Structure 1
Amino acid sequence: MNIYDSAHNLANALKESDEYKEYIKLKEKVYSDPNSKKVFENFKSKVMEIQMAQMAGQELEEEKINDIKELEEAVMKHDTISDLFAAEMRFTQVMNDIYIILNDKLDIN
């Protein structure tokens, strides 16, 4: 079996995982409601903006921190969006675990 076949097999296995299926189901549910989709994407965009600023070594303004906290509180009150974030975190953990396994086996560090 060549390496690309193995990669495709891994991708197929991931698509069949409970974590992925739950993530997709909840994402479709959130995205089926335009308002929920907008709230979800707005929050993710704000989080990404803050993460990028932190990675660039920029100091975060107190106002931005407060804005994201308020937005997070509002988002977490929306059960479906909150569930989607939790499912996304679980699937991301699976992907991180796979990367760790590959990294350990290949001794990349």
Structure 2
Amino acid sequence: MAIKEKARELAQEIVSSQAYQEMKDAEEAVMADDEAGDLMEELESVQKRVQMAQMNGQEIDQSQKKKLQNLKAKMQQNPKIKDFLTAQQEFNGIMEDVNEIISNTLQGQEPEEEEDSGGQIIT
């Protein structure tokens, strides 16, 4: 089917993009660094516990909020994590642009031409 082939082509373009490669490289650097990796894992664990508590109708107590704030502050001080978060944000912006173009086209709106982060015109 032509649609699936185009989707595969788009996926390959995304995987080949500089933004994706920078994000993956930054992620690998975080995981290769014990301190950074531990911080990321701890944040994920705390966030899951908080999310589960919220889903069960429990309020987040001050100690959980403080723990999250402390973890986020530590993460902002870690250069590898900062680089990863910046690269991730850049990649997410590109994915949002792609989704917006698809959504606008499905709604019959003309997609606007704009430059992607690689300097290429996308429609």
Q: Percent identity over the alignment?
A: 28
1 or 2, which has the higher helix percentage?
A: 1
Distance in 1 (CA, whole Å) between partners of 2:34 and 2:62 is: 30
Task: Assess if the C-alpha contact under 8 Å between 2:26 and 2:80 holds in 1.
Answer: yes
Q: Which amino acid aligns with 1:104?
A: N
Other-structure match for 2:27: 27
Q: How many pairs align?
A: 108
Task: Assess if the C-alpha contact under 8 Å between 2:19 and 2:87 holds in 1.
Answer: yes
Helix, strand or coil at the partner of 2:60: coil
Q: Structure 1 length as normaliser, TM-score?
A: 0.80
Higher Cα radius of gyration? 2
After the TM superposition, which of the residue ranges 96-105 and 68-77 deviates more from structure 2?
96-105
Distance in 1 (CA, whole Å) between partners of 2:77 and 2:11 is: 33
CA deviations on 1:29-59 (whole Å, 9 max, x unpaired) are: 1111233212122223434554676678764
Once superposed, what is the RMSD of the aligned Cα atoms?
Answer: 2.5
Distance in 2 (CA, whole Å) between partners of 1:96 and 1:48 is: 25
Distance in 2 (CA, whole Å) between partners of 1:71 and 1:25 is: 23
The offset of 1:91, in angstroms, is 1.0
Other-structure match for 1:81: 81
After the TM superposition, which of the residue ranges 40-49 and 12-21 deviates more from structure 2?
40-49
Distance in 1 (CA, whole Å) between partners of 2:51 and 2:73 is: 18
Q: Which amino acid aligns with 1:30?
A: V
Other-structure match for 2:4: 4
Task: Assess if the C-alpha contact under 8 Å between 2:27 and 2:84 holds in 1.
Answer: yes
The offset of 1:66, in angstroms, is 1.4
Distance in 1 (CA, whole Å) between partners of 2:98 and 2:57 is: 29
